[in-house]
Amino acid sequence: MNFADFSLDPRLNAAVDAVGFETPTPIQEQAIPLVLAGRDVLGLAQTGTGKTAAFALPILQRLTTGPLRKVRVLVVAPTRELAEQIHQTFGDLGQNLKVTSTPIYGGVSKRPQLAALRRGVEIVVACPGRLLDHIGEGDIDLSNVEVLVLDEADRMCDMGFLPDIRRILKHLPSQRQTLFFSATMPDDIRTLSAEILNNPATVQIGMIAPAETVSHAIYPITDKLKNKLLLEMLKQTATGRVLVFTRTKRRARNLALLLSNEGYNSTALQGNMAQNRRQASIDGFRDGKFDILVATDIASRGIDVTEISHVINFDIPDTVDAYTHRIGRTGRAEQSGDAFTFVTDTDEPMVRDIEKVLGEPLERRRLPDFDYGDFVPERQTAIAQAQQNGTGSSRNRRGGRNPVVNSDRSPRSGGGVNRGSRKSWSGGPRQQRSPGTRRSG
């Protein structure tokens, strides 16, 4: 199948060519015809599948006819970064149309948003809080909304936005098309989707398993040795752009500072930073000014930076879903990438949960030529495996004898942008540094 099969407006096909998409991704193949036909859609898809274009293209097709300068499309997203990214996708794909979109989120001045709304826009991509502010102040008329998109609904729920969403819904016409995207379906998301979708078509793409182009490995370590391990790993590994995840904002800030002091071009992305500094970090990472971005989960949502060669989980995430989202940052759009996770003994239950979803064990590695001191990674592995087999003092929260074998999800149901062959999992990091990650001097 190719994009021409959707019979989109030639100006949209030209934009698709201009952004370099050659063939539709699986979610685009499935969702675009449904959205064009006016159906409500429940999209179970993670980031990295091409879901933004899957809704943006048919929405832009709709906007090729009908009135201009009225808000006809409302997209609600959990974070500013994701809202920016969606806004940019509308801009890229709508580059040959007269249609305009505006992002609306907090942490920045309201004035430019107000000016855009007064000039008249067709598409608003908003985070819930600031949108409600504008609604409350009578700045925005949502009575002409024809299409509502809720993106990353599960994340909005995690972030406590559900009451806000319900408030926003009250301001929308009940006659509309609704597109609802979520990577997972916890109960309250299922309830919400049932309430607001009208006879929806369900599109499910690679719901949980991370992109197939990513090779995963874990490095048993202690908390104290993590900084040193990271520095040694960066020294030994041929890396391009590296995204490092930490559990807390403070750790992200401190680690980015440490890396800068060690001569790496690095920056942080965490929720305590003002919006303009966050955007400068993302832009700098995208443009190559920074080789290493140290981020927390929430701040990193929706970072659309291609060619990330390595995701390093300095701290293991709290949920399998967060692991999937982090890993979704690498191996995107015809790239392949490595995902390294530092694991302390208390992280082992989470490792088992991740392995269960992946459907296979994560390769455990020891970094060659690294001074582990008294710590023996193989001992942590042996204890973890004994616990898993029920021969140690069990910390297995699931109680399963072998979560890998008992996997109840189809491993890698596929559907990522690139479904090329997986990289080999053998071998440690490569031994030379690429020109990609360079020290600044």
Query: Which is it for the CA torsion 415, 420, 421, 425, positive or negative?
Result: negative
Residue 225 within binding range of ligand AMP, rule CB under 6 A: no
| Binding residue count for ligand AMP, defined by CB under 6 A | 16
* Binding status of residue 62 toward ligand AMP by CB under 6 A: no
User: Nearer Cβ to ligand AMP, position 47 or 313?
Assistant: 47
- Residue closer to ligand AMP by CB (options 28, 313) is 28
Could you say whether residue 206 binds ligand AMP (CB under 6 A)?
no
Pick the closer one to ligand AMP by CB: 21 or 264: 21
Q: How far is the CB of 285 from ligand AMP (least distance, A)?
A: 14
- By CB under 6 A, tell whether 48 contacts ligand AMP: yes
- The contact mask relative to ligand AMP for 252-291 (x = CB under 6 A, - = no) is ----------------------------------------
Binding of ligand AMP by 24 (CB under 6 A) = yes
C-beta closer to ligand AMP: residue 159 or 333:
333
Q: CB 204 → ligand AMP: shortest distance, Å?
A: 14
| φ, ψ (nearest 5 deg) of residue 89 | -65, -40
Q: Which is nearer to ligand AMP, 26 or 403 (CB)?
A: 26
Q: Which is nearer to ligand AMP, 42 or 229 (CB)?
A: 42
User: Residue 47, interface with ligand AMP (CB under 6 A)?
Assistant: yes
Q: Report if residue 25 touches ligand AMP, rule: CB under 6 A.
A: yes
- CB under 6 A: which stretch of 50-58, 144-152, 270-278, 432-440 binds ligand AMP? 50-58
Q: How do beta strands 363-364 and 201-205 pair?
A: unpaired
32 binds ligand AMP (CB under 6 A): no
Q: Closest CB to ligand AMP among 24 and 361? A: 24
| Shortest distance (Å) from residue 341 CB to ligand AMP | 22
Q: Is residue 50 a contact residue for ligand AMP (CB under 6 A)?
A: yes
Question: At closest approach, how far in Å is the CB of 350 from ligand AMP?
Answer: 25
Answer yes or no whether residue 304 interacts with ligand AMP by CB under 6 A.
yes
Which residue, 258 or 333, has its beta carbon nearer to ligand AMP?
Answer: 333
- Closest alpha carbon to 185 in 195, 193, 173, 177: 193
List 6, 21, 245, 290, residue binding ligand AMP (CB under 6 A):
21
Stretch that binds ligand AMP, among 22-30, 144-152, 346-354, 390-398 (CB under 6 A): 22-30
For residues 43 and 317, which CB has a smaller minimum distance to ligand AMP in the complex? 43
CB distance 183 to 7 below 8 Å: no
Q: Is 53 in the site for ligand AMP (CB under 6 A)?
A: yes
Q: Could you tell me which stretch among 46-54, 94-102, 238-246, 267-275 binds ligand AMP (CB under 6 A)?
A: 46-54
Q: Around 332, how many Cα atoms within 13 Å sit in the side-chain half-sphere? A: 23
Task: Scan residues 329-388 and list those touching ligand AMP (CB under 6 A).
Answer: 332-333
Q: Does 325 bind ligand AMP (CB under 6 A)?
A: no
Q: By the 8 A CB rule, do 75 and 125 touch? A: yes
103 φ, ψ (degrees, to nearest 5): -85, 145
Q: Between residues 134 and 301, which has the closer beta carbon with respect to ligand AMP?
A: 301
Of the listed pieces 41-49, 123-131, 205-213, 357-365, which binds ligand AMP according to CB under 6 A? 41-49
342 bridge partner residues: 219
Location of structure tokens 């023996």: 376
Query: Are 226 and 347 a contacting pair, CB within 8 Å?
Result: no
Q: Which residues contact ligand AMP (rule: CB under 6 A)? A: 21, 24-25, 28, 47-53, 304, 306, 332-333, 417
